[in-house]
């Protein structure tokens, strides 16, 4: 039962990364793609109707984590106290900047919120990537299952570590580039003419960087956390996950070159899903490794909630997920057209 | 302020108090907008649709601020209250996760369609979008109230060998008797905020002569709804809530009333200042025997005073609890009086010409916000010194490794952030009200 919730939470985080990932990516490249105020308005309208629903995946994933693995929730949220609180501030800035920009028709006002939107989006991608890096590397858990990390210490991956070290920064950079690329694919899919051309060009250039970082990130991860390969040593269906990631990487290049925007965006989504899924498969059944003593690691066995609660939770979760899929299909269907410069098609 | 416990408590109190300024209007307006849309749909009266559009613009701004200030609430259970989360997550994690799956997704999916999709959806489709936004926001309220009700009156759990509590009955958790009355009381309070804000803006438009016709409609809907809900707030919801406290948290009731000594025919205090050194109430004005009657429906029933309980079980800030409770009840009573008289004037068709009453209605805008805040303070300070009533002390629930210094850093950060948000909110809402109900102030497009 705990395994079911491991899969569910991993799935929710993958969906969050794919969906809100393009919102954040659009934020990151907002100033590169939109050169004028009007163009930036169009860029924003490409995520306007969906960003809030996409962000809910993070809230819902955190809630599900809370009830399924309370010990992990308590330990990780208090251990990552400072960066997590900063993520909250950045999420506030991101949401506010999207929503209030249109309320006042003034160049200064627009520039201010375009800037806040870009800054918060870019920082969020780095923070969320660094958080993933911390979970892979492991944290200094004590015998009670708690830890506290300052934001940085020596930038080394052993000893008294901080949130930021060379490895977590690398994963943060990888997340930044991957999501910028993902956002470019989304804009190529949702915009027209010049904006679309720019987005396609940017995605084509970022592809090389994504590929390079995939290779560097892979070797760095194996070096920092060799155990992540253990689950791959025996042949299983899990091997398919990295294949999906590589397929997505290839698909981005192939479909991007042929200007098949939807296929390229789907490839980018599969790449993200494959990379995150590959990590989750490698970690199982560990949830948060300890770098002080492997015995202190948080696992499915020592973190899961009671069996009855998990059973009830599975029933309502499936029911809820079916409803959510229906809402998302409906909203994305209503918003299926490309946005343009004439006031947005989602009106 | 140099202890982590004090900082954690202050940060939660500050962020939740600030956050709840927004959802109470969201939930109240969601209902009233649905009323306006329903009238428009049934009568075909375009003017009700115009009014609904104006309030939808205010609603949209308010909703965004509610969303962004709400995210930190769920996360703070983990960041600042890790020991509590580890202990009780198996129970209250259920309702918090359900809020995400059943309420937030619903709201976020249909809010955009409600705000920007009127032309595309048509009248019936748009009414339905308004209905789903209403359902989403009121469901969200239920899951949160169930979570708080479990902390007030823990049911449906069992203690495990590893020292945590786990869920034992899903139905009993969602049907917690404490939650049912608390939910009715909370939602009625939110509806009062929506009604009073609507009536207050209506009074402003009529007094200033700007949009008299719209103002009159706002007054009508706001006063009638406000009158109904302010009475429901007192009876039966407030009354039943009070009896629930008397039954399950008798020491809290004694502290709320600053009743220091046990005795028959306990008085209901209207005003007075608790004196903790003398254990008495200074300058008290009280209605004799009224508390006994309200609590037990019997004029000379004995009500337990604070002296019946060990000091260690008293709420840790009796005067603040006492004031919060009395401010809530006092303002609630004043609002009932104002709204009843307004409703009477409305019925006699004299409300729009009674300028003195319009002034009162316009200026009463802060009352429901203060009363709702004071009500939550009563519930949460009244629960002290417990985090989970009878099971876990507040001091035992904080994150063991988050220091006071790091906590203060984020508390100050939230204060700075919320100061800016407040200015931004007031600026945006002022612009909408200043511009009036005629047409959108700016393009509603993103």
Q: What is the tens place of the pLDDT at every residue in B199-249? A: 999 999 999 999 999 999 999 999 999 999 999 999 999 999 999 999 999
More confident residue, B446 or B9: B9
pLDDT for res A344: 43
pLDDT for res B445: 41
Q: Which residues on chain A are in Cβ contact (under 8 Å) with B80?
A: 78, 81
Give domain status of residue A341, yes or no: no
pLDDT at B1 over 70: no
d(CA A179, CA A124): 10
pLDDT above 70: percentage of residues in chain B: 98
Number of domains in chain A: 1
> Can you list the positions of beta strands (E) in chain A?
286-288, 298-299
The kind and range of the H/E element at B275 are strand B268-275
Give the residue from B70, B76, B78 with the most A CB atoms within 10 Å of its CB, the best one to mutate.
B78
Give domain status of residue A343, yes or no: no
Whether residue A34 lies within 8 A of chain B, CB to CB, comes out as no
pLDDT tens, B199-210? Answer: 999 999 999 999
Q: Which residues on chain B are in Cβ contact (under 8 Å) with A321?
A: 101
Cβ within 8 Å, pair A59-B101: no
CA atoms within 13 A on the CB side of B227: 16
Cβ–Cβ pairs < 8 A, chains A and B: 243
Q: Which residues on chain B are in Cβ contact (under 8 Å) with A104?
A: 431, 442
Q: Which residues on chain B are in Cβ contact (under 8 Å) with A74?
A: 78, 82-83, 85-86, 89, 399
d(CA B9, CA B395): 9
Give domain status of residue A347, yes or no: no
Give domain status of residue A314, yes or no: yes
* Chain A CA closest to residue B430: A103
Cβ within 8 Å, pair B71-A92: yes
Whether residue B285 lies within 8 A of chain A, CB to CB, comes out as no
List the domain range (segments joined by +) for residue A263: 2-334
pLDDT for res B440: 52
Reported as a pLDDT band with limits 50, 70 and 90, residue B258 is very high
Give domain status of residue A346, yes or no: no
Q: Please give chain A's pLDDT, 347 residues, in tens.
A: 899 999 999 999 999 999 999 999 999 999 899 999 999 999 999 998 899 999 999 999 999 999 999 999 999 999 999 999 999 999 999 999 999 998 999 999 999 999 999 999 999 999 999 999 999 999 999 999 999 999 999 999 888 899 999 999 999 999 999 999 999 999 999 999 899 999 999 999 999 999 999 999 999 999 999 999 999 988 888 999 999 999 999 999 999 999 999 999 999 999 999 999 999 999 999 999 999 999 999 999 999 999 999 999 999 999 999 999 999 999 999 888 888 765 444 33
* Chain A CA closest to residue B444: A102
Whether residue B172 lies within 8 A of chain A, CB to CB, comes out as no
CA distance B380 to chain A (A): 22
pLDDT at B443 over 80: no
Whether residue A148 lies within 8 A of chain B, CB to CB, comes out as yes
Closest partner CB to A70 (pick from B61, B85, B98)? B85
Give domain status of residue A7, yes or no: yes
pLDDT for res A341: 60
Stated pTM of the model: 0.94
Whether residue B344 lies within 8 A of chain A, CB to CB, comes out as no
Q: Which residues on chain B are in Cβ contact (under 8 Å) with A163?
A: none
Rg over CA atoms, chain A: 20
Cβ within 8 Å, pair A70-B90: yes
User: Under a CB-based contact definition with an 8 Å cutoff, are residues B432 and B59 in contact?
Assistant: no
Whether residue B100 lies within 8 A of chain A, CB to CB, comes out as yes
Give domain status of residue A58, yes or no: yes
* Chain B CA closest to residue A312: B170
Q: Which residues on chain B are in Cβ contact (under 8 Å) with A70?
A: 85-90, 93, 164
pLDDT for res A340: 76
Euclidean distance between the first and final Cα of chain A, in Å?
44
Whether residue A78 lies within 8 A of chain B, CB to CB, comes out as yes
- If contacts are CB pairs under 8 Å, which of residues 114-143 in chain B contact chain A? 116-117, 119-120
Give domain status of residue A182, yes or no: yes
Closest partner CB to B443 (pick from A67, A68, A102)? A102
Per-residue exposure over B282-304, b if at least 16 CB sit within 10 Å of its own CB, e if not: eeeebeebbbbbbbeeeeebebb
With helix as H, strand as E and coil as C, how does B74-115 read? HHHHHHCCHHHHHHHHHHHHHHHHHHHHHHHHHHHHHHHHHH
pLDDT for res B352: 93
pLDDT for res A158: 87
Cβ within 8 Å, pair A323-B102: yes
Torsions phi, psi for B386 (to 5 deg) = -95, 145
Structure-token pair, residue B204 = 């402003």
Reported as a pLDDT band with limits 50, 70 and 90, residue B439 is low
Q: Which residues on chain B are in Cβ contact (under 8 Å) with A79?
A: 401
CA distance B346 to chain A (A): 35
CA atoms within 13 A on the CB side of A240: 4
What ipTM was reported for this prediction? Answer: 0.93
């Amino acid at each position: 039962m705990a395994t079911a919730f491991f899969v569910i939470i991993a799935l929710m985080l993958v969906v969050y990364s794919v969906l809100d990932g393009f919102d954040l990516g659009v934020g990151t490249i907002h100033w590169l793609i939109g050169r004028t105020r009007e163009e930036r308005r169009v860029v924003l309208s490409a995520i306007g109707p969906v960003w809030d629903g996409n962000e809910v995946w993070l809230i819902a994933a955190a809630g599900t984590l809370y009830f399924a693995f309370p010990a992990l929730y308590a330990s990780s949220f208090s251990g990552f106290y400072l960066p997590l609180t900063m993520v909250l501030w950045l999420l506030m800035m991101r949401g506010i900047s999207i929503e209030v920009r249109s309320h006042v028709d003034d160049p200064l006002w627009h520039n201010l919120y375009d800037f806040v939107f870009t800054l918060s989006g870019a920082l969020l991608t780095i923070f969320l990537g660094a958080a993933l890096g911390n979970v892979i590397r492991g944290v200094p858990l004590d015998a009670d299952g708690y830890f506290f990390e300052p934001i940085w210490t020596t930038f080394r991956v052993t000893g008294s570590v901080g949130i930021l070290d060379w490895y977590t920064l690398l994963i943060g950079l990888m997340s930044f580039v991957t999501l910028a690329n993902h956002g470019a694919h989304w804009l190529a899919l949702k915009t027209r003419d010049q904006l679309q051309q720019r987005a396609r060009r940017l995605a084509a250039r970022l592809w090389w960087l994504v590929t390079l970082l995939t290779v560097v990130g892979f070797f760095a991860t194996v070096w920092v956390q060799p155990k992540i390969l253990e689950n791959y040593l025996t042949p299983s269906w899990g091997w398919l996950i990295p294949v999906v990631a590589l397929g997505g990487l290839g698909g981005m290049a192939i479909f991007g070159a042929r200007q098949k925007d939807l296929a390229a965006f789907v490839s980018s989504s599969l790449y993200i899903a494959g990379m995150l899924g590959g990590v989750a498969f490698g970690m199982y059944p560990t949830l948060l490794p300890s770098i002080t003593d492997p015995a202190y690691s948080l696992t499915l066995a020592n973190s899961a909630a009671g069996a009855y609660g998990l059973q009830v939770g599975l029933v309502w979760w499936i029911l809820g997920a079916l409803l959510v899929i229906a809402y998302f299909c409906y909203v994305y269907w209503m918003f299926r057209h490309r946005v343009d410069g004439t006031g947005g098609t989602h009106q | 302020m140099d202890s982590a416990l004090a900082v954690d408590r202050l940060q939660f109190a500050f962020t939740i108090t600030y956050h709840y300024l927004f959802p109470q209007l969201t939930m109240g307006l969601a209902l009233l907008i649905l009323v306006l849309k329903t009238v428009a749909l049934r009568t075909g009266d375009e003017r009700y649709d115009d009014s609904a559009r104006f309030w939808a613009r205010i609603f949209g701004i308010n909703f965004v601020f509610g969303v962004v200030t709400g995210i930190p609430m769920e996360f703070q259970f983990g960041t600042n209250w890790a020991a509590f989360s580890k202990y009780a997550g198996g129970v209250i994690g259920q309702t918090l996760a359900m809020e995400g799956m059943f309420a937030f997704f619903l709201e976020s999916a249909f809010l955009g369609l409600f705000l920007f999709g009127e032309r595309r959806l048509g009248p019936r489709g748009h009414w339905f979008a308004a209905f789903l936004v209403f359902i989403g926001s009121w469901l969200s309220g239920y899951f949160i109230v169930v979570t708080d009700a479990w902390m007030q009156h823990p049911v449906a759990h069992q203690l495990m060998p590893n020292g945590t509590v786990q869920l034992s009955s899903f139905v009993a958790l969602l049907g917690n008797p404490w939650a049912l009355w608390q939910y009715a009381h909370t939602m009625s309070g939110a509806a009062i905020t929506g009604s009073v804000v609507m009536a207050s803006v209506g009074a402003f438009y009529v007094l200033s002569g700007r949009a008299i016709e719209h103002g009159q409609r706002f007054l009508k809907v706001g006063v009638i709804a406000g009158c109904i809900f302010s009475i429901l707030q007192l009876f039966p919801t407030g009354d039943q809530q009070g009896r629930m406290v008397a039954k399950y948290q008798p020491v809290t009731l004694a502290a709320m009333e600053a009743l220091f000594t046990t005795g028959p025919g306990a008085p209901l205090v209207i005003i007075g200042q608790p004196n903790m050194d003398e254990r008495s109430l200074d300058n008290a004005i009280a209605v004799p025997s009224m508390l006994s009657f309200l609590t037990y429906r019997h004029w000379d029933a004995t009500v337990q005073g604070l002296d019946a309980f060990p000091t260690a079980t008293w709420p840790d800030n009796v005067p603040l609890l006492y004031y919060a409770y009395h401010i809530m009840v006092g303002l609630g009573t004043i609002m009932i009086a104002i709204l009843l008289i307004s409703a009477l004037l409305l019925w006699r068709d004299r409300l729009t010409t009674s300028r003195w009453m319009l002034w009162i209605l316009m200026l009463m805008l802060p009352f429901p916000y203060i009363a709702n805040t004071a009500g939550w303070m009563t519930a949460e300070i009244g629960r002290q010194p417990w985090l989970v009533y009878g099971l876990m002390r507040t001091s035992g629930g904080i994150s063991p490794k988050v220091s006071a210094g790091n906590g203060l850093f984020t508390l100050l950060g939230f204060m700075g952030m919320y100061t800016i948000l407040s200015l931004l909110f007031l600026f945006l809402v002022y612009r909408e009200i200043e511009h009036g109900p005629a047409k959108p102030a700016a393009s509603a497009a993103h």
